[in-house]
Amino acid sequence: MRGTALLSIAGQSVWLDNITRTLLDSGTLERYVRELSVTGLTSNPSIFEKAVTGGDSYDTQIRGLMGKGMKPEEIFFEIALTDLRRACDLFAPIHARTGGEDGWVSLEVSPLLANDTDSTVKQARALHAKASRKNLFIKVPGTPEGIPAIESLTADGVSINVTLLFSDAQYRAAAEAYMRGLERRAKAGQPLDGVCGVASLFISRWDGKTAKRLPANLANTLGIAVGRQCYRSYVELFTSERWMALAAKGARAQRLLFASTSTKDPALKDTLYVESLAAPRTVDTIPEHTLLAMGDHGTVASVLSPTDMSWKATLDAVTKAGIDLDATAQALQVEGRDSFDKSWNDLIACIDSKAAALA
């Protein structure tokens, strides 16, 4: 049995961390749904930057939008929404079959707004309305300025994928914002059952940043330990009395999503992070090459348990080895934001350049 099917049997949703027009046009995405148990997908500026620069599949639409006098950022959102609406429609039967829990697609607000709460809320609302798909998440970064935006948007009924989370504290802040938003919505007499959410915890970047600073027995263990710590918090938060009061009113849990689950170190097994973080009622959004590897030779030997505290010994040992976990998490969030900023600027510059050439 394929490793991706084993994840699905374990109760974890398998999402693809990629979107291109070629994936849609060729039927490859549909095949992944059929053969690799894929039930959703995520996107980000880096993914779209590679998609637009990787060929000419967007040229015709860019030319047409340019003829309407659109600016590069407006052109990007138009071409992104064209792809993502198609993906939403492909996943719509899954969304319906799972009662709205699965079958989601994600579109990110401009990462340049990561430190601007009001502008994030404004753009997220506009994109949500423009997309006109009930299974589209708007991705909002879990930065200090993003947290109040997540609360406000959830209260408005906008389903959010919180991105750029790296630590237990950052994850908890995002989950608390989701619950506060639902509480505000309930207080206003609005229905809760149409709102959904995921909180995306980035895994492999921990090891990329710390492996060379740790002894061999601790190198490449930190990302998995943080993931397991956050899984315990996830179960704790969404079995609490506070959550049960919301669930009784129809609220849906904000699922924990494991992101950045491809290995960067060639010495590691290519499916290490995916296999190590199989957990019920969670999501793993998997880069395409890792998805194919998991389907080919991945295994699921065990699933996470909220009673497993083995991660604590790893975090304690890493701290004793000189890694400041809180400071590293903050640095990773800033670096992630800056990386998305760069990809965004590169993407907009690419569209601008293409528009000029096509003219």
* 3-358: in CATH 3.20.20.70: yes
Residue 298 to residue 275: CA distance in whole angstroms: 7
pLDDT-based confidence at residue 67 (cuts at 50, 70, 90): confident
Q: Residue 4: what pLDDT?
A: 98
Active-site residues: which are they?
139
Q: What is the full DSSP assignment across 15-72?
A: EES---HHHHHTTHHHHHHHHS-EEEE---HHHHHHHHHT-STTHHHHHHHHHTT--H
- What are 225's two structure tokens? 């330990």
What's the farthest any 2 CA atoms get from each other in the chain? Answer: 61
Q: Residue 354: what pLDDT?
A: 80
C-alpha distances (whole Å) from 5 to each of 1, 9, 36, 106 are 7, 6, 7, 23
Residue 154 near residue 187, CB atoms below 8 Å: no
Domain-wise residue ranges, the chain: 3-358
Structure confidence by residue, pLDDT tens digits, 4-26: 999 999 999 999 999 999 999 99
Helix pair angle (72-97, 45-53), 10° resolution: 110
- What are 137's two structure tokens? 């998440």
Q: Pick the residue with more confidence: 327 or 47?
A: 327
DSSP-derived 3-state class of residue 140: strand
Q: What is the mean pLDDT of residues 257-275?
A: 96
- What are 40's two structure tokens? 């959703």
